[in-house]
A = this chain, B = another copy of it.
Amino acid sequence: MTLTPDDPRAPVADVDLLVLGGIVVTTDARRTILNEGALAVRDGQITAVGPRADVAGRYRAPRVIEARGGLLLPGLIDGHTHLPMTLFRGLADDLPLRAWLEEHIWPAEQRTLNPDAARWGTRLAAAELIRSGVTTCCDMYFYEDDVAEAVEEAGLRAILSQGFIDGPDTEQRLASAELFLKRWQGHPRITPAVGPHAPYTVGPDSYRRLHALAERFDVPLVTHLAETKGEGHDVAARYGRTPVRHLAQLGVLDARLIAAHCVWVDAEEVGLLAASRAGVVHCPRSNLKLASGVAPVPDLLAAGARVGLGTDGAASNNELDLFAEVQMAALIHKGVRLDPLAVPAAAALEMATSGGARALKLDSRVGSLEVGKRADVVVLDLEEDNLVPLYDPVSHLAYAAASADVRTVLIDGRIVLEDRELRTLDEAEVRRQVRALSVAIGSRWGRAGP
């Protein structure tokens, strides 16, 4: 029989919150799935995961989320973002990468970015991410102190880095990168990092110095790597090596590295990335939209590389929807390789959860529903046409679920989305402010009249 809190024989423990499922997809190492499961949460940490009847019987909480008939999964991890770039969503599309960046995005950034704009763009991104079940992101952008404050306000968990590009003010930027680490180190949800932009915008000396800084503060080093064929040519022309070998040569290719994209890597580089224990963040939709190519993710996974998934910024996607990335990661490699077994459903889901956490070096804290991990939890509504019937929950998460199916989200034990209501931000105000900014950026549609 089941012991309930009312049963005098039950050793009932007090916790802060119970989440009663529903199917629980833990994404633990054994891929445990509970048919009727539940979680207990205390001090923002998962203190129990198990059959619903057991958890409901052993724990008592002032707050209970009833998710019977729903599906619980770990919060999703978006391994590559440029949060404020929601400001430029759809500003320019269908252009060659250089023209897109140099004629549209960079001028718009020059013209409009400031601390206030960065905050509003970040708030919009955070709202969109939370609504799609993302609880952790890994960001690189300008005005990152402002990004961090908006992230804190939204309640997200994040690795945040100041985007670093070499220039006449390199010394000042290095000092600023250090200040950023000092300011945010020790924050419970925000991990500061260093963020050299890419091998074609950051020289060897700055990479080495930022790496030394990352070692000193024991934080990650976030960078773009081997995104386009053109980058490969540029880096080879300058350094006589491919981008991955270039970073290896500089001593930067190690477990501290979080490298976005890795599209243009050969078989040997796949091995180098795996052996280094670097995180690789696959951004399939962005790579397609910018015509960068298709990363060799099946090979990276087979080699044991730590592969996560990312949306990239909203200017190159144009939605921040990690379910769409999971689906793309599950679909694209099958079709391109003519192999129906390339990146199965479970592998795609793991890139967004446990594998994504490993890629960001956060796997001791998040990425699965296990005792001792922080309580980053998504409750999915299964009372949706697109999720009926249900033969295999992992199949649904990889091929059928949409971000609109997300009902409730916890981050660090805190309810940030509840029955589709965002608790941390005033979304209507966020949309108003971003729309107002967009008029200055260049919207033809933000005003009345054509």
Chain A, range 76-95, C-beta contacts under 8 Å to B? 86-87, 89-91, 93-95
Inter-chain contact B396/A318, CB cutoff 8 Å: yes
Chain B: minimal CB distance from A155 (Å): 15
Report A410-450 CB contacts with B as 1/0, cut-off 8 Å.
00000000000000000110110011011001111110111
A304 at the interface (CB under 8 A from B): no
Chain B: minimal CB distance from A74 (Å): 19
Chain B: minimal CB distance from A182 (Å): 33
State the CA gap A399–B285 with chains docked (Å): 10
Interface centre among A386, A442, A445, by most chain B C-beta atoms within 10 angstroms, is: A386
A204 at the interface (CB under 8 A from B): no
Interface centre among A385, A403, A444, by most chain B C-beta atoms within 10 angstroms, is: A385
Query: Taking A35-B450, A90-B400, A383-B431 as contacts, is the C-beta distance between A445 and B291 under 8 angstroms?
Result: no
State the CA gap A327–B35 with chains docked (Å): 34
Report A310-321 CB contacts with B as 1/0, cut-off 8 Å.
000010011111
A390 at the interface (CB under 8 A from B): yes
State the CA gap A276–B268 with chains docked (Å): 48
Chain A, range 380-422, C-beta contacts under 8 Å to B? 383, 385-386, 388-393, 395-396, 398-400, 402-404
Inter-chain contact B345/A93, CB cutoff 8 Å: yes
Inter-chain contact B431/A291, CB cutoff 8 Å: no
State the CA gap A316–B448 with chains docked (Å): 43
Chain B: minimal CB distance from A263 (Å): 9
Question: Which residues of chain B come closer than 8 Å to A35, judged between CB atoms?
Answer: 445, 448-450
Question: Which residues of chain B come closer than 8 Å to A285, judged between CB atoms?
Answer: 331
Residue of B nearest to A448 (CB): B36
State the CA gap A287–B393 with chains docked (Å): 22
Chain A, range 258-291, C-beta contacts under 8 Å to B? 284-285, 287-291
Chain B: minimal CB distance from A24 (Å): 11
Chain B: minimal CB distance from A351 (Å): 15
Which of B324, B327, B386, B399 meets A128, CB within 8 Å?
B386
Query: Taking A288-B332, A339-B291, A340-B291 as contacts, is the C-beta distance between A87 and B36 under 8 angstroms?
Result: no
Inter-chain contact B389/A34, CB cutoff 8 Å: no
Inter-chain contact A342/B124, CB cutoff 8 Å: no
A158 at the interface (CB under 8 A from B): no
Query: Taking A93-B392, A291-B334, A341-B94 as contacts, is the C-beta distance between A321 and B402 under 8 angstroms?
Result: yes
Query: Taking A94-B345, A335-B293, A340-B100 as contacts, is the C-beta distance between A400 and B318 under 8 angstroms?
Result: yes
Which of B36, B91, B389 meets A391, CB within 8 Å?
B91
Question: Which residues of chain B come closer than 8 Å to A23, judged between CB atoms?
Answer: 445
Question: Which residues of chain B come closer than 8 Å to A314, judged between CB atoms?
Answer: 400
Inter-chain contact A342/B291, CB cutoff 8 Å: yes
Inter-chain contact A294/B340, CB cutoff 8 Å: no
Chain B: minimal CB distance from A29 (Å): 19
Chain B: minimal CB distance from A153 (Å): 16
Interface centre among A90, A95, A403, A444, by most chain B C-beta atoms within 10 angstroms, is: A90
Report A197-237 CB contacts with B as 1/0, cut-off 8 Å.
00000000000000000000000000000000100000000
Report A18-43 CB contacts with B as 1/0, cut-off 8 Å.
00000100000000011110000000
Inter-chain contact A288/B334, CB cutoff 8 Å: yes
Residue of B nearest to A33 (CB): B450
Task: Show 7 residue pairs from A and B whose CB-CB distance is below 8 angstroms, ordered by the A residue.
Answer: A89-B389, A90-B390, A93-B345, A94-B344, A97-B340, A128-B386, A131-B385
Q: B-contacting residues of A (Cβ < 8 Å)?
A: 23, 33-36, 86-87, 89-91, 93-97, 100, 124, 127-128, 131, 229, 284-285, 287-294, 314, 317-321, 324, 327-328, 330-332, 334-342, 344-345, 383, 385-386, 388-393, 395-396, 398-400, 402-404, 427-428, 430-431, 434-435, 437-438, 441-446, 448-450
Q: A93-B392, A292-B335, A390-B446 are in contact. List 18 more A-B contacts (CB 8 A).
A: A23-B445, A35-B450, A86-B389, A89-B391, A91-B391, A93-B398, A94-B341, A96-B340, A290-B334, A291-B335, A291-B339, A293-B335, A318-B395, A319-B400, A320-B386, A328-B331, A402-B402, A402-B403
